[in-house]
Structures are given as structure tokens and as C-alpha cells.
Amino acid sequence: MKLSTKFSLFNAVSRVVILLVLAGALPLAMSHLARLATDQRLAQKKEKVLRLLRRNGISAFITAEQSSYGSYNLLKEEFISLEAIPPGPGINEIEDSKRAVEDEIVEYRVLSYAFAQDGQNYLLEIGRSTGSIGETERNFRHYALYMLLVAVALTTLADVAFFRYLLEPFYTIIRQRLKNAHHPAAFNFAPIKTSTDDFRYLDESLREMMTTIQASFTKERKFIADASHELLTPLAALQYRFDNMLADESLSDENQLRVVDSQRTVHRLRTIIRSLLMISKIENDQFARAETVPLAPLVAEVCDEVQDRLAVLGLTLHQDLTPDFTVLHGNRSLLFTLLYNLVSNAIKYNRAGGRIDARGRPTPGGGYVLEVRDTGVGIAREQLPRLFLRFDKGATADPDSYGLGLSIARTIADLHGISLEVNSIEGLGTSFLLGFPAPAPGLAEPL
């Protein structure tokens, strides 16, 4: 889970918890507040009525024929009553009480207040229906709840947006420094723009590390170039000398054989050095991958190259790459070597009169599988895991095998992001499967 998601989730959850707590406490608080507000209102009304009574006198409400006055509004939400009472203890209270109003029992919050005027005691009662209080309370509660929900949603969205903005440099660092840095040679050292010190520190540390890596790769490249020159030059001198010795007609037959044997040793050394240097160069990204390579013509070219070897062993080679597949951003010469080595293996370990198949088929995900299958001697099960290791010749008795062909094939496949699998049944044959990935969406063809 992303850091920003975690932050936003935590904030959202914490707000929801607060909301729930508030939602639980809100009715009680609201009811208490509503009651307080009602009581305050009743007290204000009491003062107002008392002012009216002092100004206009009791007679404005209670005439000589009446002993009391009562009034309520149309919906019976409020009432006011005034009645003469015998002298007694002072009353000044507010309480809930039920009253019968026109054959209907209504619950009121009633303020009762006893006072004396013109030598007569009166009881003033002002009531407000608790139903109307409850409604106010409900409205109050709903609005509060809606406001809280809106507040949670808005602040959560704000959090998500802010975290995204805040962490953008972090993701840029990941993309630019780690994910898209395929090789030290192509490192991008441009500083990432950020106002966050922590990210700046992370970026600087990564750039320092990249500089170190790049330096060591540069050293390795130089070593490869030097080794190439320093190892192959003395071999060349030996090779020329042997060539000249063989041209000497006075050389005895015995010595001629010795020279030929030495020549084979030089050839062996040369091939090993070249193969190892090739692997190193591939691993060191010294081969450009800027070509568009259709597979069918490449397979045809490989087949053409081995025609004479097929004829010598009486082998048949069948190609079927319909539909064809095009590798974007590949190195044609390396892909040729990869296929050549697999086909060469299929020839080397086949039976006389055997068959080789090179078949391609698209995969559901837009990729492609190219299979090179032979009807040869197969590979022992215990040998399969070691098949692509350098210098592992397995059970082959071939003196001309250096155990590097499949190692080179694996290195080239890795460079192009091609999976390389092998299946084999001893005595029946071997199948190499090359899995070409689907072209990345939006990947432009090289010019």
C-alpha cells in the first residue's frame, strides 16, 4: 500500500471514528442544548409577560368575571396561562408536564412562576411543546451530521491531493533513479526538484551511489577493452607464426602435425576469449539496441547459414513463423547469434536424419514464443539446471565444445528481456523456448 494511501486512510478512519463518537454524543448534547435553549426562551417570555402585566395591569388578562387566563397558538406548540392562587410558598421552576388541550394530551416544557400583584397571588405558566423542541433538536442533529460528513469528505480529498503533491518528488526519484535506470551508462544525474529536505537528501544519496556504480562500470569497460587487446594480440602473433610455419615446405610431417595441434589450441583460446569478452560486453551494455528486427527473416538467415551442416548430417529444418513478430529496440547481430547458437546446438546434438523445427506463435498478452525443437539425444534431467552456466559442457563428448554457446544465448536473451526455457527428454529431443515480451504500449519504433 502506498504511503499516501496509508496517510489518507489513517486520516479518513480517524475522522470516521471522531464522527461516530460525535454521532453518539450528539443526541445527548443536542437534547441538553435544546432544553437549555427552551428554558432560556421560557425565562425570556416570563420576563416579557411580567413587564406587560406591570404596564397594563392584570385586568388586561383576567377580568372580574374570570379567575384565570389561558392562551395557546394554533398548533398547540406554546401556551400561556395566568390564574389567581391562594398564598403559598414561592414557585419558580421549569419542568416537563403533560397537559390536556382540547381532548388531546400534549407534553410541554412548562415554566411555573408565582408572583403577587395588587395584593393577590398569581401563578404564571408558560409552556412549549416538547415535540417542537424535539423537532428542533432533530433538525439541529441532521444538519450537524451532514456538515460533519461533508467536512470528513472534503478534508480526506484535500489530504489525498496534498499527499500526492507532497510525495511526487519521491516517486520521481524512484522512477528516474531506480526504475528507469537500466544501465549505469544511461544514468540521469539531473537533480530532482523538491522543497522537501528529506527527499533532497534521498536524491543526493542515490546520486552519490550512482556515481560510484558508474565509475566501476567505466573501469570494467576499460578492463574489457584492455583485456581484449592484451590477450588477443599475443594470440595473433602465435597464429601468424603457425601459419608461416605451415607454409614452410621444409617442415617435416611430424612437426606439421604439431603445428596444426598448436593452431587448434590457439583457436580454442581465441574462441574462449572472444566469447567471454562478448558476454562481458553484453552485460556491460556495450551493444546498442536500436534496431527493429523481424524474426522470420532472421530465422531464415540462420537456417541458410547452416544448410551445409544440415546436408552433411541429413537433417531437415522446418521454419514456421506465421504470423511473424518484430522485436523493437533490438540488436540484430546479437539476436542472430542467439538463434544461431540454439540452432547450432540442435544440429550438434541431433541424430543423423533427424529433424529441427523453428516455430513461432503469438501469446495472448501480445508477446511471442519462438521454439527451437530437435529430435536429438536430449539432455539428462540433472544437467538441465546447469545448462546455461559458463564452461558447463554436460555430458557432451564434443572436443570442439567450449560450453559457452548457451551461456551467450542466455546473456543475449536477458539483454533483450527475452525468457529462455528448456525442456528435454533424454533420447527424444530438446526444445528451447524463447519468450518475447509484448512491446510496451506507446513504444515508438526506432527511426
> Can you give the three-state secondary structure of 252-307, one letter per residue?
CHHHHHHHHHHHHHHHHHHHHHHHHHHHHHHHCCCCCCCEEEEHHHHHHHHHHHCH
Q: Which amino acid is it at 69?
A: Y
Q: Is 332 in the site for another protein (CB under 8 A)?
A: no
Nearest to 4 by CA among 152, 149, 156: 156
Binding test (CB under 8 A) with another protein, winner from 372, 404, 413, 418 = 404
From residue 272, give the alpha-carbon distance in Å to each of 10, 236, 383. Answer: 60, 14, 22
Torsion of CA 85, 86, 87, 91, to 10 degrees: -40
Q: How far apart are CA 409 and CA 418, in angstroms?
A: 10
User: Which CB, 264 or 381, lies closer to another protein?
Assistant: 264
Question: What number of chain residues touch another protein (CB under 8 A)?
Answer: 53
Binding test (CB under 8 A) with another protein, winner from 13, 21, 257, 428 = 257
Binding test (CB under 8 A) with another protein, winner from 36, 312, 428, 440 = 312
Q: Is 118 in the site for another protein (CB under 8 A)?
A: no
User: Which CB, 151 or 257, lies closer to another protein?
Assistant: 257
Beta strands 316-320; 355-362: pairing state: parallel
Binding test (CB under 8 A) with another protein, winner from 347, 358, 387, 434 = 347
Nearest to 37 by CA among 139, 113, 148: 139
User: Which CB, 327 or 343, lies closer to another protein?
Assistant: 343
Binding test (CB under 8 A) with another protein, winner from 176, 239, 326, 423 = 239
Binding test (CB under 8 A) with another protein, winner from 186, 260, 395, 428 = 260
The residues that bridge with 372 in the sheet, in sequence order, are: 358, 432
Grid coordinates in use for 82? 395566568
Q: Is 35 in the site for another protein (CB under 8 A)?
A: no
Stretch that binds another protein, among 38-46, 281-289, 353-361, 362-370 (CB under 8 A): 281-289
Q: Which positions lie near another protein, rule CB under 8 A? A: 225, 228-229, 232-233, 235-241, 243-244, 246-247, 256-257, 260, 263-264, 266-267, 270-271, 274-275, 277-278, 281, 286-287, 305-309, 311-312, 333, 337, 340-341, 344, 347-348, 398, 400-402, 404-405, 408
